[in-house]
Amino acid sequence: MRRLATVIALCSLLSITLPSIAAASGALIPADAPISQTSLNVIFAVDGQANQTTAYLKLDYTGTPTEFAWILPVPSIPTLDVVGASSFAELHSLTDPRVTFPAPPACFTPALGTIPATATQTPAAQQGQVGAYDYSVLEDRDPAALMTWLKDNGYQAPAGLETALKPYTDAGMPLLAIKLKPDAATNSIQPIAISYAGTTPMLPFQLAALSSQPKTPITVWVFGEAQAIPTNTERFTMRENDLALTSLNNENNYNELRSGVLASVAGKGFLTEFAQPSKFLSPQDSLLKELTTKYAFLTRLYSEVSPEEMIFDPAFGYSPELPPLSNNIDLTYRTEPFDCEDQLLHTVRRQQYDAAKGNRSSEEEATANLRRGALRIGTLLVIGVTLGTIWFLARKPNKRRRAV
């Protein structure tokens, strides 16, 4: 059986969650068929008192590899463990955005559905086995020597990996190399928890760029002492007035708006979708029960990033002064976006205008008001310039000729 090496690059984050259809994050290397990252889900648990972070990672991929391997930069010598695979599904369920619109009036016959928004001698400092995996921690600071070690130990290195590793080796970060045991089946892939010293979560995008697909969805959860924010890129929240129903099945434009704002900043931003005290969650999963008991606050952030945009490593910190943010967006106070006569939804533009205005208007009135608004601004500018000119001329001294 030929070995498929999946080289991953996740810096100070990491702990890995790998269900049967997921690989790890970073650069995925195919042996027999193309493989690439399609989404990334990361849970950070940041313990400030113990100066320790445990990170959990779930990376979905395309391709049919028979074996897997990862290369992950970490800030210190880590400890590893295997965990269950149900945590991410339940955490999505608990924190996914949900938008509720007004119920249709009695005159509106179509029924709405309930669809939610949606081996060389490079020394190994540590070696061992955990679950179905063999792992090695490498502390060599020479990227070329590391590349030789990887190739001699069954890892296939893609073009650009040596260059991508250099910022992390220059920073003195050990590399964690993980792969399935030779006799392990692909259905043995389990979530892995990686704990290490440090309290600044970070995503090593520069390595992940080697195998990511365009607009890769990235969801990050941070369990910690307060609301988490990106510290070296933009932070956004959803504007409720822009949300609108787009179908009679209760579908809406949330995902479209989210993708649009992230595309406008070329992937250099995260949208905060949930930020609440952990005590408000009631998970069933054992890992989530432990995390919500231990940590005071949970934040969920989302981004979409293409490989060419992965030119920096997003880092996260806290902003305790920010107000909590619910994932349940209640818009039932709005005027009904339904047309009883024609049995149709109002257009997205009209819904947005009605939300901003706070009362019902016709689409023609909305368009006319938008035009009148621009006209009024222009008129006020002309009046202002005219009055300013008159005032200036009135204050100008009157020079009279002196008699000779």
**DSSP secondary structure code for residue 188 in this structure:** G
Regarding predicted confidence, which is higher, 50 or 161? 50
Best-predicted range by mean pLDDT among 78-92, 209-223, 229-243, 351-365? 229-243
Nearest to 44 by CA among 216, 190, 218: 218
Q: How confident is the model at residue 318 (pLDDT cuts 50, 70, 90)?
A: very high
Average pLDDT over residues 108-126: 55
Condensed to tens digits (0 to 9), the pLDDT of residues 52-64 reads: 999 898 867 665 5
pLDDT of 37: 65
Assess whether pLDDT exceeds 80 at residue 338. yes
The b-or-e profile of 153-173 (16+ CB within 10 A means b, else e) is bbbbbeeebbebbbbbbeeeb
Condensed to tens digits (0 to 9), the pLDDT of residues 70-115 reads: 777 788 888 888 877 789 899 999 999 999 998 887 776 654 554 4
Strands 69-73 and 52-62: unpaired
Regarding predicted confidence, which is higher, 165 or 14? 165
Q: What percent of the chain has pLDDT over 70?
A: 73
Tokens of residue 19, six digits = 């269900």
pLDDT of 366: 41
Assess whether pLDDT exceeds 80 at residue 30. no
Beta bridge partners of 158: none
Q: Report the alpha-carbon distance of residue 177 to residue 16 in Å, rounded.
A: 12
Secondary structure, 3-state, 195-220: EEECCCCECCHHHHCCCECCCEEEEE
pLDDT of 211: 63
Q: How confident is the model at residue 66 (pLDDT cuts 50, 70, 90)?
A: low
Q: Report the alpha-carbon distance of residue 134 to residue 182 in Å, rounded.
A: 9
Tokens of residue 18, six digits = 């790998």
pLDDT of 7: 42
Q: Report the alpha-carbon distance of residue 318 to residue 87 in Å, rounded.
A: 23
**Residue listed under structure tokens 């930020």:** 275
Average pLDDT score, the chain = 77
Which of the residue ranges 22-26, 117-121, 201-205, 349-353 would you say has the lowest mean pLDDT?
22-26
pLDDT of 67: 54
Tokens of residue 350, six digits = 């009209």
Side chain identity at residue 287, one-letter code:
L
Q: Report the alpha-carbon distance of residue 69 to residue 326 in Å, rounded.
A: 38
Average pLDDT over residues 216-221: 94
Which of the residue ranges 4-18, 163-177, 211-225 would you say has the lowest mean pLDDT?
4-18
Residue 212 phi, psi dihedral angles, 5° rounding: -85, 150
Nearest to 321 by CA among 234, 239, 226, 232: 226
pLDDT of 61: 62
Q: What is the dihedral of CA 73, 314, 25, 126, to 10 degrees?
A: 20
pLDDT of 397: 63
Regarding predicted confidence, which is higher, 377 or 39? 39
Average pLDDT over residues 131-140: 81
Q: How confident is the model at residue 11 (pLDDT cuts 50, 70, 90)?
A: very low
Q: How confident is the model at residue 362 (pLDDT cuts 50, 70, 90)?
A: very low
The CA radius of gyration of the chain, in Å to the nearest whole number, is 28
Assess whether pLDDT exceeds 60 at residue 351. yes
